[in-house]
Amino acid sequence: MVRIEFLGPIAKESVEMEATNLKEVANRLSDESEIKEWLQICAVAVNDTLVSSLDTPLKSGDRVSLLPPVCGG
């Protein structure tokens, strides 16, 4: 099981799911209309390390974080 965390303004509680890579996570989350739009603009971290490939492998106990863009000044 991997834990998916939704940070910042994403209004969703963390969930756990079976997945072997980020592509599987993205496919499952894209079925949820309130999350689908965030998937296209968020950075993604696995165990606090930013990743850019959906082929990133996952193992049981990993934590995936969706990081929405922020602005500041």
The model carries a pTM of: 0.89
Residue 11 pLDDT: 84
Q: What does the angle CA 73 – CA 46 – CA 66 come to, to the nearest 5 degrees?
A: 50
Residue 72 pLDDT: 56
Give pLDDT tens digits for 12-66.
999 999 999 999 999 999 998 889 889 999 999 999 999 999 999 999 999 999 9
Q: In the chain, where are the structural domains located?
A: 2-67
- Domain 2-67: homologous superfamily in CATH: Beta-grasp domain (3.10.20.30)
Q: Which residues pair with 51 in a beta bridge?
A: 44
- Residue 35 has a CB neighbour count (10 Å cut-off) of 20
| Alpha-carbon separation of residue 62 from 9, 51, 65 (angstroms) | 22, 13, 10
Residue 34 pLDDT: 85
